[in-house]
Amino acid sequence: MSKVRVANFAISIEGYSSAPGQTRKEPFGPGGLRVMEWFFPTDTFQKMQKKGGETGIDNDFSAKSMTGMGAWILGRNMFGPIRGPWPDDSWKGWWGEDPPYHVPTFVLTHYPRAPITMKGGTVFHFVTDGIDAALDLARKAAGEKDIRIGGGASTVRQYLQAGLVDEMHLVQSPVLLGAGDSIFAGTDLDGLGYECVERVAGERATHLTIRKRP
């Protein structure tokens, strides 16, 4: 049965997934990319660069996070740093011509935009009707496969607070950002019925699996 999942979502020790001040050069904000330093040596990431990387626990979780997905949902900030109405069609994401999604990907925004077809099977659809509408579209696109909520923190938080996330894999990186956006802000995970069912120490980070209680 299809699940709504958050996977490979990196956070600092304080729970921040990025630092303030996103720009085109610094999508995680100044210094924020440190939360992803554990991921870059993995074979999963290095294969995206047409290279080989490290295997092990961190890579096992990363590889699993990229399988079984039939659709993705992203917040607008995850798609890019542009705010307000789209000035033109030039911005097509951070990832170049072949984004890593390879399935229909639904971007939450307040401003309409025509779909964008990329190499590798990724098609970006822009949804202006909110998180429920995006999830309905993603379910239809995914069929029996899972739907991954890709971020950023505000988007994950909205789906959590609505009780729509079935499973969440967080990666706690051993860094301090000092400030930023957190999925935990104003979110009572225990009160919403979630519990931590697994904690695994990887080579460079700690992997936490959180699910709804039966």
Residue range 187-200, pLDDT digits in tens: 999 999 999 999 99
**pLDDT given at position 1:** 76
User: In this structure, what token pair is assigned to residue 147?
Assistant: 């739907």
In a domain, 89, yes or no: no
Whether the per-residue pLDDT at 214 is higher than 90: the answer is no
pLDDT tens for 42-59 read: 999 999 888 999 999 999
Residue 126: helix, strand or coil by DSSP? strand
- What is the pLDDT averaged over residues 97-101? 95
Q: Tokens 């969440």 belong to which residue? A: 168
Q: How far, in Å, are 95, 136, 151 from residue 100 at the CA level?
A: 7, 22, 14
Q: How confident is the model at residue 170 (pLDDT cuts 50, 70, 90)?
A: very high
38 within some domain? yes
How many residues comprise the chain? 214
143-165 pLDDT per residue, tens: 999 999 999 999 999 999 999 99
Domain containing residue 22: CATH number: 3.40.430.10
Whether 92 is in a domain gets the answer no
Instruction: Give tens-digit pLDDT for 25-45.
Output: 999 999 999 999 999 999 999
Residue 174 belongs to a domain: yes
Residues 72 and 106: beta-carbon distance below 8 Å: yes
Strand pairing report for 167-172 and 206-212: antiparallel
Q: Are 155 and 108 in contact (CB under 8 A)?
A: yes
Q: CA nearest 48: which of 5, 8, 102? A: 102
Q: In which band, very low, low, confident or very high, does the pLDDT at 5 lie, cut at 50, 70 and 90?
A: very high
Residue 195 lies in a domain: yes
Of 148, 146, 101, nearest in space to 122 by CA: 101
Q: Are 2 and 70 in contact (CB under 8 A)?
A: yes
Omega within 30 of 0 (cis) for the link into 152: yes
Q: Are 168 and 192 in contact (CB under 8 A)?
A: no
Domain count, the chain: 1
Tell me the pTM: 0.95
Q: Whole domain around residue 196: which residue ranges?
A: 4-80+98-212
What's the average model confidence in pLDDT over 169-182?
97
- Would the pLDDT of 69 be above 90? yes
- 85 inside domain: no
- 199, 57 in Cβ contact below 8 A? no
Look at strands 104-108 and 194-201 and give their pairing: unpaired
In the predicted model, what is the mean pLDDT of the chain?
96
For range 158-175, the mean pLDDT: 97
Tell me what the mean pLDDT of segment 80-99 comes to.
94
Contact yes or no for 7/210 (Cβ under 8 A): no
User: Which DSSP state fits 30?
Assistant: T
* 88 belongs to a structural domain: no
Question: How many other CB atoms are found less than 10 A from the CB of residue 93?
Answer: 18
Q: Which distant-in-sequence residues (6+ apart) come within 8 Å of 96 by Cβ?
A: none
